[in-house]
Structure 1
Amino acid sequence: MNQSSIQPQKLFVASCLALLVTSLSFGIRAGILNTLGQTFQLDMKELGIIAGTAFWGFPLAVVIGGFIVDKIGMKNLLVAAFVLHLAGILLTIFATGFWELFISTLFIGMANGTVEAACNPLVVSIFPNNKTTKLNYFHLWFPGGIVIGTLISYYLGTVGGVNYKWLMAIMLIPTFIYGYLFLRLKFPVTERVASGISTSQMYRALGNPLFIVIFILMAGTAVTELYTGQWIEILMKNVVENSILILAITTGVQTLGRAFAGPIVHKMSPAGVLLISSILAALGLYMMSTVSGNMVFVAAVIFGLGVTYFWPCMLGFVSENIPESGALGMNLVGGMGMFAVSIFTSIIGGHFDTIIAAKLPAGADYHAYVGAAPGSTEAAAYAAAQSASGPEILQIILYIPLVLIVAFTCLVIYMRKRKNQPHNHLQTQTA
């Protein structure tokens, strides 16, 4: 293909719009999760399964996409993402119970994964000399969209009383726009294909011990960021009124942080950024589970700073240090992150039910309290028990960034020792 026909900036804008739909699905669904539970009388385990479905639909799509993107092209993957987003949004709007919500969330999760599977290698391909910085700019639309989604959920849903179906329908606007743009634009081949790296070289790179370490650590960074964000309204209910605004604060900090990623990533190594991020995330989680009053907002800012660079720097680390792994390497790492969140969400949902049940009156029928009519004594007792259980879940999550601090400290030491050693892989200019 004639490279002069490629329009990098327009492709980048369309990619950001596609990621905006992905992030709106997180922000709006986080805001309506409790409403869905009340509307369809779902307990915390069922809500956990539904919420978790998006997180395993994502890795399913991103891994499949990673294997086929070099063959079928990034454009075809993004057309598939458009179809899946459209189907998932419409199914949520017309859902009548658990299974429609389950399937719609699966479709949205697969659409989100397909966007990542195509857009991450697309950004790297059109900006080969500024990978990590551009990945941060691209991924700022994830927290940015969550900010927009949570504000929509709060001001239109909580304050304005707009039905959750209309909130979901708002997502159709950017969905149609990005679908239209991608259909019109021409795409380059992936960086690996353009560089002439063979498929066998790509698969061998996946066995690199450094890749395996990042693959495993991605599980911890993703759970710390995404599980906390998806459940923040419920987890923080007893600490602050209108707890969904805490999500808007944390993701707002992420958006600003990624917008200024260039100087930060340039001055520090990705491994160093990840270590500092883990320390701040741990401190923020600890504070959110223990403080009250205005200090909650300080805790939210610290936590937001902590998770700001996790996702883009993990992908950027792979692209810059193990470039032979190509699009598949980045997509496997991203898939691992979302898969870990799906497993954690399902497991912790059942544990959440156990903690809540222990706070209800002795001998209470848990499911009777879950399905109690709004305004009843049972419904009030369930809401109080649910709110009181949030900090306990936050303290469980806290162990994850504590482990990451140790792991990234070791990674920083290793990368410093490795820095002056010769490399036999595709040379790339760091951000």
Structure 2
Amino acid sequence: MGVDRRRLFWLSVLALFTASVSAALRSAVASSLKAEWIDPIDPIAAGERIGAALGSAFLGFALTLFVASALLDRIGMRRILTGCGLCFVAGTLLIVGAGSIASGMAIYHLVWLGMLVSGVGWGLAEASINPLTARLYPEDTTHRLNVLHAWFPGGMIVGGLAGVFLASLLPWQAIMGLVLLPAIGVILIALTTRFPTPPATATSAGMKGMMLEVVRRPSFFIWFGAMFLTASSELAPGQWLDVALSNRVGMRGILLLVYVSALMFVFRHFAGKLAGRLSNPGLLWISSLLAAIGLYMLSQAQSPVSALIASTVWGLGVCAMWPTMLASVAERYPRGDAWALGLVGSAGALASFFVLPRLGEMFDQAKVEIAGGSEAFTRLTGDALRAVEDAAASQSFARLALVPLVLLVVFGLIWINDRRAARRTEQPA
């Protein structure tokens, strides 16, 4: 192939690590950002606004992944990954500098834009590293994608711990600015690395073949819909943990995210082997069951111990979802190549874009209803305010637990169908 496969793989790891650190730090600083900039502007709808701002990163992720996946080989992986690093630099600077540049509601709009641009960087990363890894390791795709995506929780650990332990030493803007370090590394390494020659799918005929692979096989859209739901079970709750649970369980919600990320980091190194024994649909079915139980337990948690137990169940459920979904699509629709992977990745990102504001809206509606109206809520302070917001947070997580229950049906039917097909193949003629 004439390229350094190991160097390319670790460049992919760094790009995903940067995206993850950015997501973790956005979540870690969300409460401080909300208190400093959004609560004074719009206290009644502050939860929905911070949810929408966090969700804008996923909109940028989804749209970029959809477009860049189709044009990956025409634009070139080097340009895509260089652009990835540049977007994280620009997006981070917009977020941390919004208060110095603007005032009032304009601050919120700049924060929203900064998170959107960071999401574009994330989309450029996923658009390139997933097909690159599948091409570099065609003989071991599921395992390699799980190892690669183990570094997403790896970045969540680093970013989450930085957000917690530096909070008393640095302003949240400086903490968010830590994203600049790995982002610059991505730019420098991408510019000095040789990439493999694009495959036949880079031609117009090849792109047509990618699209026909998806259009001619309607079963692909089952996986597309399933990705929407798996991401709703994984990414959206992760971004909402610190905002919703910190007061109620007596510990920073971002620490729960760090703990879950540690579970993911370890488990994803073994998920490929487990999928080999169960099959991908089997692993996804078990993951959905644990995710549903864990989300409901999180909605009921009232202490650090109960929150850790609930997070363990939820974390074990969602840890293999994203990479196993990508590996399933890569294996079942190989001619779809980068475009098929980009489509399902876009579905996952769009889920968080729609679900996060909805979580914030449910939270805002519940807190006003529990308080007895908007005027009554604005008069609440101290323990009374905390009690109302804790009850509202519980309701938002309980409703989200319904999502993976749908996946039990979807993956269960796919699993059964695959087993039947395998038995028919094994039967002698």
Question: Paired residue for 2:354, among 323, 333, 343?
Answer: 343
Query: Once the two structures are aligned, what percentage of the paired residues are identical?
Result: 30
Alpha carbons of structure 1 residues 262 and 41: separation in structure 2 relative to 1, 3 Å: closer
Q: 1:269 aligns with which of 256, 261, 279?
A: 279
- Distance apart, 1:49 and its partner CA: 1.3
Deviation at 1:381, TM superposition (A): 4.0
Q: Give 1:413's aligned residue.
A: 416
Where do residues 175-214 of structure 1 align in structure 2 (5 Å cutoff)? Answer: 175-190=183-198, 193=201, 198-207=206-215, 208-214=217-223
For the Cα contact (< 8 Å) 2:290–2:314, is it kept in 1?
yes
Q: Where do 5+ consecutive residues of structure 2 fail to align?
A: 40-45, 100-106
**2: CA distance between counterparts of 1:421 and 1:81?**
46
The answer as to 2:375 corresponding to 1:364 is yes
Alignment partner for residue 278 of structure 1, among 288, 302, 310?
Answer: 288
The 5-angstrom pairing of residues 131-170 of structure 1 reads 131-157=141-167, 160-170=168-178
Pairing of 1:391-430 with structure 2 (within 5 A): 391-419=394-422
- Contact 1:234–1:386 (CA under 8 A) maintained in structure 2: no
Question: Pairwise CA RMSD of aligned residues?
Answer: 2.0
Report the residue type matching 1:137 in the other structure.
Answer: V
2:210 aligned counterpart, secondary structure: helix
- Structure 1 or 2: more helix by fraction: 2
Is the alpha carbon distance of 1:389 and 1:189 closer, same or farther for their aligned partners in structure 2, counting shifts above 3 Å? farther
Greater CA drift, 357-366 or 13-22: 357-366
Per-residue deviation, 1:407: 0.9
Confirm or deny that 1:117 pairs with 2:127.
yes
Query: TM-score with structure 2 length normalisation?
Result: 0.91
Normalised by the length of structure 1, the TM-score is 0.90
* Separation (CA, whole Å) in 2 of partners of 1:414 and 1:358: 46
**Aligned partner of residue 260 in structure 1, secondary structure:** helix
Distance 1:67 1:232 in 2: 34
Contact residue 368 and residue 374 of structure 2 kept, 8 A: no
Aligned mates of 1:35, 1:144 — CA distance in 2: 23
- Answer yes or no: is the 8 Å Cα contact 1:234–1:387 preserved in 2: no
Cα 1:191/1:224, change in 2 over 3 Å? farther
Counterpart in 2 of 1:54? 57
* Alignment partners' CA distance in 1, 2:376 and 2:124: 42
Which residue of the partner structure matches residue 237 of structure 2? 228
Residue in structure 1 matching 2:70, options 59, 67, 70: 67
The aligned amino acid for 1:22 is: A
Task: Return closer, same or farther for 1:190/1:138 CA change in 2, 3 Å cut-off.
Answer: farther
Residue identity matched to 1:102? W
Say if 2:103 is the partner of 1:92.
Answer: no
Partner Cα distance (1:165, 1:144) in 2:
22
Q: Give deviations 1:315-373, integer Å, cap 9, x for gaps.
A: 0001011101110000110001111210112223222111111233556265x56xxxx
User: Structure 1 residue 219 and structure 2 residue 216: aligned?
Assistant: no
Cα distance in structure 2, aligned partners of 1:421 and 1:190:
38
Is the contact between residue 201 and residue 210 of structure 2 (CA under 8 Å) also seen in structure 1? Answer: no
**CA distance in 2: counterparts of 1:128 and 1:233, whole angstroms:** 39
1:236 CA displacement? 1.9
Stretches of 4+ aligned residues off by more than 6 angstroms: 194-197
Which of the residues 336, 341, 344 maps onto 1:325?
A: 336
Paired residues, number: 409
How many angstroms does 1:421 deviate by? 7.2
Contact kept in structure 2, 1:124 and 1:191, CA below 8 Å: no
Q: 1:353 to 1:210 in 2, by over 3 A?
A: same
Write out per-residue CA displacement over residues 113-143 of structure 1, whole angstroms, 9 at most, x where no aligned residue: 1100011111111111111111001101111
Distance 2:374 2:152 in 1: 44
Are 1:306 and 2:351 counterparts?
no
Confirm or deny: 8 A CA contact 1:121 1:191 kept in the other structure.
no
Residues 54-102 of structure 1 deviation map (CA, whole Å, 9 limit, x = unaligned): 1111001100101100212211111111111110011112112101101
Question: Equivalent residue for 2:260?
Answer: 250
CA gap of 1:395–1:189, structure 2 versus 1, over 3 A, is: farther
